[in-house]
A and B are shown apart, each in its own frame.
Chain A
Amino acid sequence: MLSTLASAADPTPMAAPKPLIEVQDLKVHFFTRDGVVRAVDGVDYGVNPGETLGIVGESGSGKTVSSLAMLRLVPPPARTVGGRILFEGEDLLTRTPKQMAALRGRRIAMIFQNPATSLNPIYSIGAQLSEILVWHEKASRRQAEERVAELLNLVGITDPLTRLRQFPHELSGGMKQRVGIARALLCNPALVLADEPTTALDVTIQAQILELLADLQARFHMSMVLVTHDMGVVARMANRITVMYAGRVCETADAATIFSAPQHPYTRALLESMPRIDQSYSRGARQKLPTIAGRPPNLLNPPAGCRFHDRCPEAIADCRRILPVETAIAPGHTVSCIRRGSPGIAA
């Protein structure tokens, strides 16, 4: 009845593989009435074949916007104003809308945060999932339905033939998210983007869905980008982790390094501010949680220099002036902080 989830967090082998997708100096800005919101402002990360990259950061740090950019789905008034997104060697930003439509849902698929709103309420589960196969793979209705039933079964939905005829509102939240996962996997994508896939779910259901995702990912050797604000979730799932702050990347490293030897001051502060069961707070001494004073900056008018400088315990005068640029401090470990040796761009 119970099952174990082997860790996905083993470090990747050292020989750097060629990334499946590589985001380079990506810039996505929102052109609003009040001015330009620099939501994603020079972001780099890559995902290797078969690995899970966790993207963490606080609300508004640009996690969702940068992952939508990979599908060329940034919502207006946002525009991708710079950078490259190399997928299987080609820059997605130069693809035509038609080429993108053929790619989306087939080679790159997405799992959304809210399973209730990501399914269409007026079509049955079977109709909306087989539609995708008919469109992408020119499958017949019957073939499509068979494949859909097979996938529903794979994601742990019992009695798939009955479920095919049901509508989203007839399913529980966890069940809907299973359907969302089945939909993403229909065409055997090379890359799955999962934006907070379990945030809307209960703790025990969240654990089931994470286990399912890890299992499927290993089985089909997919790459996955897992966007979340929950450090516990990435700890469970990710091979490598990218930490974002205010539209920029602070640090990227394999999961073990992020947790055991984080280098960027923001990564350190974020980890310290989380209650952990291994520090026995409850044994009488009710000490305080370390906090990060202040709050993330307004991206309409981001501070000059390092965007973390007004909250950073290690800031020096130069931090107000120099925008740090990510640099490798060890194989597979990049940091953007002038006090860790990153080069910078003077304001």
Chain B
Amino acid sequence: MTPLLDVADLAVHFPVFRGPLRRKAGTVRAVDGVSLQVFRGETLALVGESGCGKSTLARAVLRLQEPSAGQLRFEGQDLLRLDRRAMKAARRRMRMVFQDPHASLNPRLRAGEIVGEAFDIHGCTRRERDAGVAELLTLVGLGPEHAARFPHEFSGGQRQRIGIARALALHPSLVVCDEPVSALDVSVQAQIVNLLMELQERLGLSYLFISHDLHLVEFIADRVAVMYLGRIVETAPIQSLYAAPLHPYTQALLAASPSIDPDRRHQHVVPDGEVPSPLSPPSGCAFHPRCPFAIANCRAEMPPLLTLAPGHDVRCWRAGEWAAAPQRAAIPVGS
């Protein structure tokens, strides 16, 4: 099966300037050689801590941020070869939902104009637009009567519904959701997550779902890609990732994420150290300064992404050892 979205060796580098003369002080490798695929109808979750490059990757996939290197194929097309007009047409089929529903909606436009923007850009008639807007608002659990209201007249959850309606205009096949519920209240998060899953079933959508919340991801995703400092360190189907995470960073993330599960409330393993600066990433495996299993080789050489089980790729020199002994106590507690 060919993937709907195929990202290969994608890199996004930002020059960093310092001081009064704005001298170039270095390069942030925000995304550094990322490969991933999203298949039709599936949800691929991208998880990692803030600053690891998730949003930059999302923007690069839509070419809202020009990649520095790599390949991007979407619906069989080589996106990086498209000119502006062709890229605009391709963006009808790949849309984005943003984290902050307050900041991502233009406060001066009415909900109907926000949702209808795509119809205008792509030259639909007024009637097509109005009918489309009414249908979309209903689809996301609002009503046509909401079209005349301004964003400030809606709650956070309702605003995120408008953001989703906007993304669904003109039948996209891929929706990139960048932390779509992180800014919302817990009870409202559940409403939006349910909506996204329902829409996926009805419309056959594929999601690239960005999140830092592993509990949420287990609920919504089919596969997970874990990112650390600009690189994918583990990709796996959801069952394997939660049952037998192979990368030490994934294990640390799982151990660190606060849980209300009675069995998991009582013991916690906390990784040491700070998240390093992407301006000067550590040598070798970028996780080595915080990794309890690091060996000499980890400092010297970056491990390759190796496939250790069907669909389960890991970037760790020692992952083969864990994979061979899956019953190993997850992490030696208190070592």
Which residues on A are within 8 Å of B, measured CB to CB? 1-7, 9, 58-59, 172, 174-175, 202-208, 210-211, 229-233, 235-236, 259-260, 269-271, 273-278, 281-283, 286, 288-293, 295-296
Contacts and interface: CB of A to CB of B under 8 A. Distances in A.
Interface in B80-105: none
A290 to B, nearest CB: 7
26 contacts: A2-B292, A2-B331, A3-B269, A9-B265, A202-B212, A203-B253, A203-B257, A204-B253, A207-B255, A207-B270, A208-B271, A229-B186, A231-B260, A232-B257, A270-B187, A273-B187, A273-B190, A274-B215, A277-B259, A277-B261, A281-B218, A286-B197, A288-B198, A291-B190, A291-B194, A295-B155
Contacts of B255: 207
B216 A58 contact: no
B41 to A, nearest CB: 12
Contacts of B197: 286, 288
A7 B261 contact: no
Contacts of A236: 258, 265, 268
B256 to A, nearest CB: 4
10 closest A-B pairs by CB: A232-B258, A207-B256, A202-B49, A273-B190, A289-B190, A7-B266, A275-B219, A292-B187, A275-B215, A291-B190
Nearest to A292: B187
B157 A295 contact: yes
Contacts of A211: 268, 270
Nearest to B290: A204
A204 B219 CA distance: 21
Most-contacted residue by chain B among A3, A236, A282, A293 (CB, 10 A) = A282
Interface of B: 49-50, 155, 157, 185-191, 193-194, 197-198, 212, 215-216, 218-219, 221, 238-239, 242, 252-253, 255-272, 274-275, 290, 292, 331-335
Contacts of B215: 232, 274-277
Nearest to A273: B190
B270 A204 contact: yes
B256 A290 contact: no
Given A232-B258, A275-B219, A295-B155, A205 B275 contact: yes
Contact of A5 (B260, B268, B271, B274): B268
Contacts of A4: 267-269, 333-334
Tell me whether chain A's interface is mostly helix, strand or loop, or mixed.
Answer: loop
Nearest to B274: A172
Contact of B186 (A6, A58, A203): A58
B116 to A, nearest CB: 25
Contacts of B260: 231-232, 235, 259, 271, 274, 276
A242 to B, nearest CB: 16
B223 to A, nearest CB: 10
Given A204-B49, A273-B189, 12 more contacts: A2-B271, A2-B333, A4-B334, A5-B270, A174-B274, A202-B50, A204-B252, A207-B256, A233-B258, A235-B265, A276-B260, A278-B262
Nearest to B268: A5
A203 B212 contact: yes
A112 to B, nearest CB: 19
A260 B263 CA distance: 12
A281 B215 CA distance: 10
A6 B269 CA distance: 10
B219 A281 contact: yes
Given A203-B212, A291-B194, A3 B257 contact: no
B185 A229 contact: yes
A7 B221 CA distance: 31
Most-contacted residue by chain B among A58, A205, A211, A290 (CB, 10 A) = A205
A289 to B, nearest CB: 4
Nearest to B157: A295
